[in-house]
Amino acid sequence: MRAIRADEHLAYVRSLPSASFLQTPAWGRVKSEWTAESVGFYAGPVLVGAGLVLYRQLPGIRRSLAYLPEGPVLDWARADVPALLDGLAAHLRSRGAFGIRMGPAVVTRRWHAGTIKTAIADPTVHRLGDVTPDESCEVGAALVETLQRAGWRHQVVAGGFSAGQPRYNFVLPLAGRSEADVLAGMNQQWRRNIKKAAQAGVEVRVGDRDDMPQFHAAYVETARRDGFTPRPLAYFDTMYAALNTEQSDRLRLYLAHHDGELVAATTMVRVGEHAWYSYGASTTTKREVRGSNAIQWQMIRDAIAAQAGVYDLRGITDTLDEDDPHLGLIQFKVGTGGDAVEYVGEWDLPLSRALYGAFALYMRRR
């Protein structure tokens, strides 16, 4: 384990079918409030894994939390995973980290859309995690056991969201499927809304950096309506520039208009064979023209055209309770006909128990 150059890191990512965009060197430039480092995992002289480490220093001291969002990027089925993680801990300790937080993008369980629909209709079922999965993943289960044995601590908060990146996500498989196949797999409401948007004359186009203020205005409106704190425009400008400088067309900005008026705007990120719906916004007016469905369908079509194997609609909670306001988000995504997946989640390894304890107390009191 050692630090590697950004170009070495990027070359390793490009050698794979895909990796999380949060583990690309460019993401370190997006998260400017953190200090970024690329690290490499070696088996002898061979690079067998890489990671983007983000360091956040504690106020008043020279010690940091080391964070690897949706990383590191490894073959988690390797027999030497425990040794590689020990090497990671030693390296980050030498860099002054008091603790490590990581969230490997490794699936443990998967539920198909039909299973989720049945569970939502059952009043006795309240959590996705309580539903028998359609698939259980041995590599994910083995990694959880490895982390537990090594003293890593699982980080979970109410509702199924981890402390950083979501533990539950919704993905739409695209490999080997045509547009017609994907459309046929959607529920009737999704197909009807896509058709309605087309008949109403909703037009979706790919924008550029100059269009970012339009996106941001709709995003701020969405934040006000849904009750979350929006990121500033400068964050999205930086994200657009950093990701697209590293790889042309990595991040796309989409805008949906009706009669010249913006009704929805989104961003999509793609690394290799994996495409992500990253940020979305819609205006309060003209919701009846179904701009959100139209813009999602265009992103899915473009992901298929780019030969992506997965279109990732990102986080959901695990709630299936009809009284929970988050249920609507799951129902919207289930309508695409995809799968809910559970990842191993985020895990912490204290390197200084005293400092990590103080950090954990601070986080609980925020």
Average pLDDT estimate for 18-35 = 97
State whether 199 and 100 are in the same domain.
no
Q: Which of 308, 324, 356 is the last residue of a domain?
A: 308
Higher pLDDT, 328 or 115: 115
Residues 300 and 352 in one domain: no
The radius of gyration computed from the CA coordinates of the chain, to the nearest angstrom, equals: 21
Do 97 and 222 fall within a single domain? no
Q: Are residues 183 and 236 in the same domain?
A: yes
Do the domain assignments include residue 22?
yes
Tell me: do 181 and 301 sit in the same domain: yes
- Number of domains present in the structure of the chain: 2
The answer to whether residue 190 sits within a structural domain is yes
**Residue 263 resides in a domain:** yes
Structural domain range at position 288: 175-308
Asked whether residue 69 is domain-assigned, the answer is yes
Bridge partners for 166 per DSSP: 161
**One domain for residues 290 and 181:** yes
Q: What is the pLDDT of residues 259-307, one digit of tens each?
A: 999 999 999 999 999 999 999 999 999 999 999 999 999 999 999 999 9
Residues 248 and 349 in one domain: no
Mean per-residue pLDDT of the chain: 95
* Amino acid 162: pLDDT: 45
- pLDDT tens track for 244-264: 999 999 999 999 999 999 999
Residues 182 and 294 in one domain: yes
Within-domain flag for 111: no
7 and 95 together in one domain: yes
Is residue 292 a part of any domain in this protein? yes
Do 245 and 360 share a domain, yes or no?
A: no
Q: Is residue 118 part of a domain?
A: no
* Cβ neighbour number for residue 179 with a 10 Å cutoff: 13
144 pLDDT above the threshold of 50: yes
* 229/352 same-domain check: no
Q: Are residues 184 and 242 in the same domain?
A: yes
CATH classification of the domain holding 233: 3.40.630.30
**pLDDT one-digit tens code per residue, 98-129:** 999 999 999 999 999 999 999 999 999 999 99
Residue 282, domain member (yes or no)? yes
